[in-house]
Amino acid sequence: DHHVNYGSSGLQDRVAFVQTDPGQRDASIRVADLQESDTGTYQCRVKKNTVAVHEVIVTVQEKPAVPQCWFEGALIEGGSVLLRCFSR
């Protein structure tokens, strides 16, 4: 019905249709700058001739911290080393 309802979650500036004209059978959306507070159940309701409803559960986790990396072994040509990384 050419109407988009973003609810009250503050998504209006971060949501856009993937296709320029969703009336051409693709109402996929893209959400920019996901945040942990965006975690929740979302409902997509599309009305053309009939109404199609689909619910999606979105879980946004905090991105990991910068990893700490180190190597084990001697840096000798042809030798073996082991690279280890850890992130909280």
Confidence of residue 3 (pLDDT cuts 50, 70, 90): low
- pLDDT band of residue 13 (cuts 50, 70, 90) is confident
Residue 62 DSSP symbol: P
Mean pLDDT of the chain: 83
**What's the pTM?**
0.54
Q: In terms of residues, how long is the chain?
A: 88
73 close to 82: Cβ distance less than 8 angstroms:
yes
The pLDDT assigned to 27 comes to 78
Residue of 62, 61, 56, 63 lying closest to 40 (CA atoms): 56
